[in-house]
Structure 1
Amino acid sequence: MLEMVKAAEYDLLHYPERKMGYGLKRTIKILTGRKVEPPDKINWPNGLLAMGLADYYMAHKNSEEARVIVDCLKQYYDRWIRRGCKMYYLDDAFSGLALIDLYQITGEEKYKKAADVMVKYLFNHETDDRGSLPYRPNQKNGYIFADTIGMVCPFLCKYGSTYGDMNAVNLAVTQIQNFIEMGMDAKTGLPYHGYQEESGVKYGIIGWGRAAGWLMIGMSETLACLENTRPSYEVIKQAYRRLVDKVEAYQLPNGLYSWQLGAKEGPADTSATAMILYSVAKSLNTKTLIGIHRSRMVRGRDALLGMVEEGRIGNCLAECQGFSMYPQIYGSYPWSLGPALSLFVAAEEIN
């Protein structure tokens, strides 16, 4: 696992690595009035890496690598803080999970203030009529993505439970409950990639593996922070358990999950696998799930462990480009490395 930690440390400070000439091309576009993406370094892939590193630190505080991890996390967040804590997208909030951990580790107030900036951004974000957060509001399409549940709700709920902010918890719960009601396929029990509230139309394929993974992470992380006396806790827990049962039925004999859960003869996707299994391992540790799920989780974990090469995990589906736009390109990406590292750490507690 240490090889993976080293790879995650490197990627956290270097992803995305720009090709030669990137800066010049960007400048030319700006000067000619063309649209350019902001230089977003607090993005969700880095958030997954930061979470994996923070999880490893929490489980191995006395290891030699622990100090290196803290230094790496500080470099990552300090860079963002120096640039004014700019938030560009909803999915930037996933980096807030490890940011809360870093404040608890160091006690440095700047990390608490940075988390405050994140939650304020989410509070001020546009919502639809049911209170859900559109993924890209500037596109004016009202699309709600399953990804948002995993990218936003864990931070909101952890922030709210850590700092006593029930508005943050309530916003997280609203996202999950709305998606459960409007984003699921009634026949299979699996999620669509997303939906639009106004029309009620559901979009994307049913059972895209990473959509299921994001949804499961969002629900399991929220349940880990949510008070079990709250009425919504039981509602979300039962919905989560049903989803886990439905997803596990699609696990391949080798322990992995396909890029599209129902496409059992298609390529396996290590990112979907790692996300799904991490969520299950997390929920076994918090007792949200019972031990019957352990054997499936262990089988998948062992399959992923066997695929680690030089600290990285290949066979990971490339970045999604939108609803039903899933380029069939596979390689090693942060979104397989980060959740796999978190999975392996969580599974240590179960063993």
Structure 2
Amino acid sequence: MNFYRSLTEEAVRLLDIPDEPDIYHKIRRWARVHIKHESVAPIDTMNWPKGCLMCGLVYQARKKSKADNNVDRAASIYGMAAVQSHIDKWIAAEAPLYFVDDVLAGQAILMLADFYKDDDPETFMRYMKVADGIMRFLYGHDADAEGVLPYRPAQKTGQIFADSLGMIVPFAVMYGLMKNDDDAIAFARNQMTYALKHLTDPEIGLPWHVYSLDGDNGDVKISGALGWGRALGWIMYGLGASVEAFDMYPPKSPEAITASKTFAALLEHMTEIAQQFRREDGLFGSIIHDDETPADTSASAMIIYGIKQRDYRAERGVKRESYIEPLVPYIGSDGKVKGAQGECMGIGLYSDTYGSYPWSVGMTLLLL
């Protein structure tokens, strides 16, 4: 069955839901800031759920833009136009960046730039200029003693989330390859290798969700759950997208060649770990090694995407349809992808609500 059109339409619908609050919330927000003098989080239109949608939409739109199937080709144009409109509005608002989450959308910006590189050099340069700003944001971000970026530096905890490895590493890899910038590639390799070293449990090989370097002695403090599904999901997505970038833009410099081998080896290793805990239905649980927890389609899509990239590089000849097959029972005719765990509200505060969310729809698009 062809799910591309319905998934694209649902992803665009979710992307178009405004992040700006209605008039009631705008007044309440103004009062909190100007009367109560409270600290209020900024309205972030490039948040990670939007990033998931944009990455999935552009990823498939590039592949389907020359499809023989008119339905697929029309859906690709529709999806690409929606992402471009969202990004252009953000650029018109001076492209604000608030959190490392926002860098996930930067991957979509680089994919857009690549799409226009040959046919529209002006648009290509416009998006690459924005990508330059995102890379500067990463370079200027707070970092721990090993150079790894904490998730929320304003909290002064120094905590590194597994989520960041999917949000920022593929962007830095792709940026470095497109710009022949070894510093960006070294930055990406540093983030992934140090974080995986500290997050990975030595006994079962699965990652913890969060770690931090404790004081000046370099001791590592672990937080959150061991084997949380989306922690492994973000890692597998980050590794898979990075490996795919190295395949798209073959490395030339010694740094890029070394990084390419490092990422491929890490993806191979983490795939072997993940496959040990795969369920009979082909999915992965919200706690990977606990069969009593529900399956999580969002974590599963991320992990399977990484497996897909490992298989493609190793030329294992697996048919494309086999990657999305485990998720088929959860995909509705309306493009919703049910069975995804709700948003994590803090370290160890994992949702017990399951449904269709931007992170399940966007990541499932990667498997088509």
Question: Same fold, TM exceeding 0.5?
Answer: yes
After superposing on structure 2, the runs of 4+ consecutive aligned residues of structure 1 that deviate more than 6 Å are: none
Residue 129 in 1 paired to residue 152 in 2? Answer: no
For residues 297-336 of structure 1, what are the structure 2 equivalents within 5 Å? 301-309=324-332, 310-336=334-360
Could you tell me which residue of structure 1 aligns to residue 70 of structure 2? none
Listed one character per residue, the Cα deviations across residues 89-144 of structure 1 (whole Å, up to 9, x for unaligned) are 01100101111121233331322221111111011111111010011111111101
Question: How far did 1:301 drift?
Answer: 2.1
SS at match of 1:262: coil
Residue 51 in 1 paired to residue 61 in 2? Answer: no
How far, CA to CA, are the matches of 2:58 and 2:209 in structure 1? 28
* Gaps in structure 1 of 5+ consecutive residues: 345-351
For residues 41-120 of structure 1, what are the structure 2 equivalents within 5 Å? 41-62=45-66, 63-106=73-116, 107=120, 108=123, 109-120=125-136
SS at match of 1:312: coil
Could you tell me which residue of structure 1 aligns to residue 298 of structure 2? 271
Return the letter of the residue paired with 1:55: Y
Could you tell me which residue of structure 2 aligns to residue 143 of structure 1? 159
For residues 184-333 of structure 1, what are the structure 2 equivalents within 5 Å? 184-198=200-214, 199-226=219-246, 227=251, 230-285=257-312, 287=313, 289=314, 291=316, 294=318, 301-309=324-332, 310-333=334-357
Question: How far did 1:300 drift?
Answer: 5.9
Return the letter of the residue paired with 1:306: P
Residue 13 in 1 paired to residue 19 in 2? Answer: no
SS at match of 2:95: coil
Question: How far did 1:195 drift?
Answer: 0.8
How far, CA to CA, are the matches of 1:270 and 1:20 in structure 2? 35
Deviating more after overlay: 17-26 vs 149-158 = 17-26
Return the letter of the residue paired with 1:36: V
Task: Note if contact 1:256-1:300 (Cα within 8 Å) is conserved in structure 2.
Answer: no
How far, CA to CA, are the matches of 2:364 and 2:140 in structure 1? 33
How far, CA to CA, are the matches of 1:6 and 1:224 in structure 2? 26
Residue 28 in 1 paired to residue 24 in 2? Answer: no
Question: How far did 1:224 drift?
Answer: 2.8
Please report the RMSD computed on the Cα atoms of aligned residues, expressed in angstroms: 2.0
Question: How far did 1:252 drift?
Answer: 1.3
Task: Note if contact 1:134-1:142 (Cα within 8 Å) is conserved in structure 2.
Answer: yes
Listed one character per residue, the Cα deviations across residues 260-308 of structure 1 (whole Å, up to 9, x for unaligned) are 10121221111101110111112322x1x4528x48x965621212211
The 3 A distance-change label for structure 1 pair 327 and 15 is farther
SS at match of 2:243: helix
Residue 183 in 1 paired to residue 199 in 2? Answer: yes
Question: How far did 1:24 drift?
Answer: 2.4
Return the letter of the residue paired with 1:105: F
Task: Note if contact 2:323-2:367 (Cα within 8 Å) is conserved in structure 1.
Answer: no
SS at match of 2:277: coil
Aligned residues: 340
How far, CA to CA, are the matches of 1:104 and 1:52 in structure 2? 15
Question: How far did 1:242 drift?
Answer: 1.7
Could you tell me which residue of structure 2 aligns to residue 347 of structure 1? none
Question: How far did 1:17 drift?
Answer: 7.7
Question: How far did 1:19 drift?
Answer: 6.5
Listed one character per residue, the Cα deviations across residues 163-191 of structure 1 (whole Å, up to 9, x for unaligned) are 11111111100001101221110000011
Task: Note if contact 2:185-2:259 (Cα within 8 Å) is conserved in structure 1.
Answer: no
Task: Note if contact 2:240-2:305 (Cα within 8 Å) is conserved in structure 1.
Answer: no
Listed one character per residue, the Cα deviations across residues 204-235 of structure 1 (whole Å, up to 9, x for unaligned) are 11110100010111112222334386334333
Task: Note if contact 1:149-1:218 (Cα within 8 Å) is conserved in structure 2.
Answer: yes
User: TM-score, normalised on structure 2?
Assistant: 0.87
The 3 A distance-change label for structure 1 pair 269 and 17 is farther
How far, CA to CA, are the matches of 1:68 and 1:54 in structure 2? 10
